[in-house]
Structure 1
Amino acid sequence: MTKLYLVRHGETFDNERQIMQGQTQGELNPTGIRQAEALSRQLADICFDAIVASDLWRSVHTARILAEPHGLEVVTTPLLRERDWGSFTGRFIPNLKDVKPWPDDIESLPAMMDRAGRFLDYVRDNYPDCQVLAVGHGIINKAIQAVYWHKEMYEIEKMKNVEVRILDI
């Protein structure tokens, strides 16, 4: 059985400003860097076999900080990318609350759940019986947990920046 340590990236400038990042690269702010450094110290004694991250910079940067004490390279995959928010990308999140209907260019929940399932299969296939640290994003991490627990997305609690959830897959 593989133990998956699922992490959300550190805080970004756009998180701080409540801007919908979606699949933009994003950049950790000083708080996000400190968060990742603190988590790196907390996880330093765990023997990870692999560190995987979304290919978006905010997750790669977080993963590289977490990888330092382990001497591991970060493997990236687009399967861990955040939800594609289409034309909502770059907009102020509180202004989007009551927008109905949503634009057609937003990645659908079924498509995102399918991607989340493919990520779990990817980890199982490539890292059997390993300890894997994976750095993703808030919404895709919720989708991964929803698939894992056979629940709806709304039943999964939102992850804070650099929060870790452990799944035995």
Structure 2
Amino acid sequence: MTTLYLARHGETYDNERQIMQGQTPGELNDNGICQAEELSLQLADAPFDAVVASDLWRSVQTARIVAQPHALEVVTTPLLRERDWGSFTGRFIPDLKDIKPWPDDIESLEAMKARAGRFLDFIRTTYPNQTVLAVGHGIINKAIQAVFFHKEMHEIEKMKNAEVRVLDISL
């Protein structure tokens, strides 16, 4: 059985300021570091065989903190990157609410779900019958769950910072 512990990174300075981070590196703020430390304590007894993270710094930071009690190195992959928000990146999120239509440079839900499917395949083939912690981002984690559960993105509940959900992704 391949078990995936899917986590979201801890809070960042841009989360706190409501800035659209997209595929920028990001950095955990003090609260985010505390959230990652609490997640590390919560998962200290989980039988992880591997820890995988998005290659964006905020996820790597979180994964390293959580991986520490397990003495595991963090493997990174761009498959776990957050949605590419194109020209929305770096903007104040409340200012984006009423913009229609969205610019063409934003990664489509279809493209993101395809990437999420490739991520699930990557975990299944690279870590068969293992328990893996994967630290990603809010929207790509939603896409991963939407693909896994065969649901639409809006049907998946938003993950809070440093929240974890467990999926049995065996073939």
**Count of residues in correspondence between the two structures:** 169
Q: Cα offset for 1:145?
A: 0.1
Partner-residue secondary structure (3-state), 2:5:
strand
CA distance in 1, matches of 2:76, 2:116: 15
Q: Which runs of 4+ in 1 moved over 2 A?
A: none
CA distance in 2, matches of 1:38, 1:83: 26
Tell me the residue number matched to 2:28.
Answer: 28
Tell me the residue number matched to 1:78.
Answer: 78
Amino acid in the other structure paired with 1:154: H
Partner-residue secondary structure (3-state), 2:11:
coil
* Structure 2 alignment gaps of length 5 or more: none
Tell me the residue number matched to 1:134.
Answer: 134
TM-score (norm 1): 0.99
* Structure 1 alignment gaps of length 5 or more: none
RMSD: 0.4
Tell me the residue number matched to 1:17.
Answer: 17
Tell me the residue number matched to 2:151.
Answer: 151
Q: How does 1:26-105 map to 2 (within 5 A)?
A: 26-105=26-105
Partner-residue secondary structure (3-state), 1:46:
coil
Tell me the residue number matched to 2:4.
Answer: 4
CA distance in 1, matches of 2:79, 2:113: 11
Q: Once the two structures are aligned, what percentage of the paired residues are identical?
A: 80
TM-score (norm 2): 0.98
Partner-residue secondary structure (3-state), 2:6:
strand
